[in-house]
Amino acid sequence: MKTELVIPSAAVYERAGEILRRGGLVAFPTETVYGLGGNALDPDAATKIFAAKGRPSDNPLIVHISSPEDAENIAYTNETYYKLAKAFMPGPLTVVLPKKDIVPDSVTGGIKTVAVRCPSHPVARELIRVAKVPIAAPSANLSGSPSPTTADYVMRDMDGRIEMIIDGGQSEIGVESTVVSLTGDVCTVLRPGDIIPRELYEVVGEVAVAEAVKVPSAAGDNPESPGMKYKHYAPETQLILLSGEREDVISYVNNEKRKKAVLSYSEDTGKYKDAYVIDIGSADDPKSQMYNLFKALRDVEKADADIIYANLPPENDDFLALYNRMIRACGGEVVPCLPLGEGGPLAVDEEFTI
Ligand code: AMP
Ligand code: MG
């Protein structure tokens, strides 16, 4: 199949809407990352999405709607949903609710809940409006790869697999939406994103964070969100996260003899020797790091390095989305870097796996 790369126009929305209504696939920009869209009410479209991504079909898709009230068509809403909608929609929040029968089981991977999101990106909104159907859309990457933040990255993964890619520039947030579940007693974060637990807490009063958020869970686990059990975002070269003080991380990397690449804080880019360095943003600026992370994880392959290093993000609320993505991208490979120690210029603990 030929994959068309187009820029948005009234005619493009019409054609994209037609493709979606007849069961085809269109990738489109959102404020978080690019989505790979199909008609959420068409069971075959969901099957095509899983095939195009190479994604296990038990990993449910997020259904995109053009206004928060449209959730009524596909899910059983509640008061908390509307509190969250008032505060965060349209925007980078996905809410899991009990599903209505109209949503095919193939969209939700066979489970009885559905994830609902109302994106703020004007192209996504116009596409859903013109298509006149809710759009099921996971991130538009091959399963396991970093989510695409530009149309060009979508093209690299999806060329020949889908009918159309709409180019809307680089996604402004850069990591996928915050996913919360409202199917239990407490609003629970299943996947962290730009909207952080503290902000949710201010709106709904009580918030839990699923344990799987902080660990790279292995296949076979049964975390609340099925997507959390797969290795994700991983570059082909092994990524290792380094914990500890920044200067100790720099010394550790500079002691590495293999061909190396570093995802570096802006402040430290000049301090690494003999390394292919990518700036991922200022150390204390999680938003710029989120914006740059997936692009960095893709671009770093150009270095053709033997090993990639990055700082382990802090474990607090503001960095939770980065922590979650990076711990999964490295498959749990974290090495603590210690200050100058006895018996050598650099004492490094045994590598351990979380
Ligand atoms: P992606 O489609 O790549 O943005 O990933 C969607 C994420 O939302 C995955 O981690 C899914 O497991 C999660 N998700 C989607 N639908 C549900 C649902 N009904 N219940 C729990 N998690 C969901
Ligand atoms: Mg994804």
Q: What does the pLDDT look like over 262-287, one tens digit per residue?
A: 999 999 999 999 999 999 999 999 99
The answer on 116 and 68 residing in a single domain is: yes
Cα separation, 269 vs 278, whole angstroms: 8
Does the residue 200 lie in any domain? yes
The answer on 245 and 133 residing in a single domain is: no
The answer on 31 and 91 residing in a single domain is: yes
- Each residue's pLDDT tens digit, 196-224: 999 999 999 999 999 989 887 654 444 56
Does the residue 225 lie in any domain? no
The answer on 286 and 207 residing in a single domain is: no
- Distance of CA 144 from the midpoint of ligand 1 (Å): 14
Question: Is residue 337 over pLDDT 90?
Answer: yes
The CB of 111 under 6 Å from ligand 1? The reply is: yes
Residue of 62, 99, 149 best suited for mutating to test ligand 1, as the one with most atoms within 8 Å of CB? 62
Amino acid code (one letter) for 305: A
The answer on 80 and 119 residing in a single domain is: yes
Which atom of ligand 1 has the smallest separation from the CA of 228?
Answer: 10
- Distance of CA 15 from the midpoint of ligand 2 (Å): 25
Q: Dump the DSSP string for 173-185.
A: S-SPPEEEE-SSS
- Distance of CA 51 from the midpoint of ligand 2 (Å): 14
Does the residue 219 lie in any domain? no
pLDDT of residue 234: 79
320 lies in which domain range? Answer: 239-353
Residue of 25, 194, 213, 225 best suited for mutating to test ligand 1, as the one with most atoms within 8 Å of CB? 225
Q: What percent of the chain has pLDDT over 70?
A: 92
Judge whether 290 and 322 are in contact, CB under 8 Å: yes
CATH number at residue 119: 3.90.870.10
- Each residue's pLDDT tens digit, 22-41: 999 999 999 999 999 999 99
The distance between the two most distant Cα atoms of the chain, rounded to a whole number of Å, is: 70
Query: Token match 């997020």: residue?
Result: 62
- Each residue's pLDDT tens digit, 281-335: 999 999 999 999 999 999 999 999 999 999 999 999 999 999 999 999 998 899 9
pLDDT of residue 348: 46
Question: Is residue 97 over pLDDT 50?
Answer: yes
Query: Number of C-alpha atoms within 13 angstroms, CB side, residue 173?
Result: 23
CATH number at residue 313: 3.40.50.11030
- Each residue's pLDDT tens digit, 180-196: 999 999 999 999 999 99
pLDDT band at 227 (very low <50, low <70, confident <90, very high): low
Does the residue 62 lie in any domain? yes
Total residue count of the chain as it appears in this document? 354
pLDDT band at 230 (very low <50, low <70, confident <90, very high): low
Q: Final residue of a domain: which of 195, 213, 231?
A: 213
Which atom of ligand 1 has the smallest separation from the CA of 55?
Answer: 3
Identify the burial level of 66 via C-beta atoms within 10 angstroms of its C-beta, where 0-12 means exposed, 13-18 middle and 19 or more buried.
buried
Residue of 36, 58, 96 best suited for mutating to test ligand 1, as the one with most atoms within 8 Å of CB? 96
Cα separation, 353 vs 332, whole angstroms: 5
Cα separation, 4 vs 174, whole angstroms: 23
Does the residue 233 lie in any domain? no
Task: Using alpha carbons, select from 164, 187, 161 the residue that is nearest to residue 55.
Answer: 161
- Each residue's pLDDT tens digit, 112-123: 999 999 999 999
